[in-house]
Structure 1
Amino acid sequence: MIPSTTKANQIATYDNKIPTKKYFDYQATTPTDPRVLESMLPYLTSIYGNPHSRSHSFGWEAEKAVEDARKQVADLINADPKEIVFTSGATEASNLALKGFAEYNDYNLHIITSQTEHKATLETCRYLEGKGVEVTYLPSNKDGSLDLKEMKKLIKPNTKLISLLAVNNEIGVKHPLEEIGKICKEKDIVFHTDAAQAFGKMPIDVKKCNIGMMSISGHKIYGPKGIGALYVRRRPKVRILPLFHGGGQEKGLRSGTTPTFLTVGLGTAAKIAKNEMKKNSTHIEMLTKRLYDKLREKIGDDIIKNGKDTLPGCLNISFPYIEGEGLLMKLKNFALSSGSACTSASLEPSYVLRALGTTDDLAHSSIRFGIGKFTTKEDVDTLVEEVSKAVINLREMSPLYEMVKEGVDLSTIKWSA
């Protein structure tokens, strides 16, 4: 499934252990690129010094590796390496950005975010509301887009921060970073974006987009889990306070020993993404279109794509008259999701789809198909065959679908409680 180098293949033998399973959950996580794994190995074996130990060569070597990785991450977004703060992932980065900014401002501020943000932002904002911060949740349009005119109307004299996703993790809708950044610049507001689903997959220029802070994740771009970063602009400077205290690492914003091997993995993943973004984007876009077109060809037009102007690789589809969980049960050889990995244990319909005005029954029938750079045409074609069979089979057992085929208008039916 995953192409590998000779050295990495000696370790990453898992490549050949699951030939019958196909992975289509790239928004939840990605397989580690073998080149990333290979770059990390020396820092688990021979170069194991603490990067903050400056009295011997073991520490110097580790420190150099960390700083090289910092530059690789910065280069991908046109930032200064000094603006990159390593964290455990995008969730911690978003917490640091929002809580750190709010605390610096003594919680005396107004924040604008959206109803369809990742839980890392929504839950943090709810926490801040308990501290006295005023938060406004911008609604989404039915296609998942944001009404920037409405956003401008929500701006108040004490609005100091706007936090919006770059790409939605459930439906893949891209938000116009440059336009949002322009509004923020005009109003002297700091713009934070959670770019976990966008970083390394689409071009992002933090200067051009006037981004003040940006959350980054390693395991979404074929890097290791447990590492991410927060971009914090230096000019004009964005000021935040740390979440916790200790040795003062990462410019005092993130105390604790920086995990050299994970940081190197993130840096290598960022370097690969920069060099191969165009090739990977073309491949993923082709497969996403192939998947959608073939599903419509096999099942018919009675499927609904959720979201407009989406990043290729994230395809969220509702299959009316069936339960998404039931469909997943019939597709046990495929890694798929009925929504965000962070909320997939919940039986509640997707809060993102509900925010778009999607009815509960359609929200319950949705599946997120995630495609990545290691996905093949054969994988997609196999998935199409199995999904088509399962949907047709489940609809044959659905009384609602039988009623629709007979011409019954379901909206005229009075349902008993």
Structure 2
Amino acid sequence: MAWREANFDGIVGPTHNYAGLSYGNVASASNKGDIANPREGALQGLEKAQHLMSLGMTQGVLPPHDRPSLRALRAHGFTGSDREMLAKAWEASPALVANVTSSATMWTANAATISPSADTADGRTHFTPANLAAMYHRSVEWPVTARVLKAIFPEGDRFAHHNALEGGTHMGDEGAANHNRFCADYGDTGVALFVYGRGAFEKADDLIYPGRQTLEASRAVARQHGLTPKKTLFVRQNPAAINAGAFHNDVVAVSNKDVFFYHEDAFVNPDQLERDIKGAMGDIRMHFVRVPRALVPLADAVKSYLFNSQLISTPNREGMTLILPSEVAEMRSTKAYVEELTGSGELISHADYLDVRQSMRNGGGPACLRLRVALSDDDMGAIGANAVLHEGLVSTLQAWVNNHYRDRVTPDDLGDPMLMEESFAALDELTQILKLGSIYDFQQ
């Protein structure tokens, strides 16, 4: 039976803006208050997905969430019609409105942690939506994320779903952005590497920015997915990387099959980590591409998002391909490194640069925009929505974006009831296009 890694990209939402909500995310903070272009952002994301399709990859999409979150506003005591609640909230706290109107759900690497059926005790693919407890604007996401995932991957013989972890920031879980899986091929038993920033019940005095993922949360996800302990590893991210702006491990590391591409400063003891991975992999040979700080300083890696790339195996190319943000080609150190890496042609032979600047300015590169799911042919047949892309669906989504999205949104626009109503109308139509059912609170 054939297996593949499918990428489900988040569609940039109609309320995409630069409110600078993500503490520890350097790009988000540096672009706070800038004018955003949701239409351009959504089209850039669809162009990225279309490029991967042209390489022979299986590509899907996940929808934006309904923003502002009316459920969150009601939870804060606001009452009345949708317009009345928004007006009252905007008068009381524009900062609260900015948080509940965030379009951060575009970064679907944070949507969930996924363990494919080859790795789990019951032979099903397991999904745990991330609680994203470290940041309020993201902590409100998981109920809708769970509905979306259940609509696309129906609970049953092939797919199993869990609730987000309880426990607040002590059990902070940031999803697949802090999870790597190594394997010979996607359908083979793999090794899961969970990367955490701190212990739940310890004071991390070596951190300036929050360690969003906790060890205890990672262990809990591994347990409820039924992963084999000897095939499951836990490692702490280097505090220096977090303090440099690598708020998730996918800012300094990315993997595909038996290749691990990471920065020298991503982990405190990379030599030991490589030994541990080799031991867990057994007879399967691992390949490590450790990028030295002498060639790419950590600050350059974080600013360019060299490692927040997609590392993929395409059907028609020898060697793996990096899907990189165009910013990598604009920085001397990262451009030179990628040219040397791909020029050797040993493991990673191709580098494709794509423009995802609307996302990048908020701190999300190509890897942030996608959720990876290893699927068999039978799994593909069990998908329950119209979320796997083909050229006709891409054209439909592009037309949908052009019809509904603004080309200019500022943080001051978030109190505009027309933006809310435009967004809800767009998303209502999108659920019909993707055949998702009534997944949004305003549709309940």
Do they fold alike, i.e. is TM over 0.5?
A: no
More strand by share: 2
Which of 1 and 2 has greater Rg?
A: 1
TM-score by length of 1: 0.29
TM-score by length of 2: 0.28
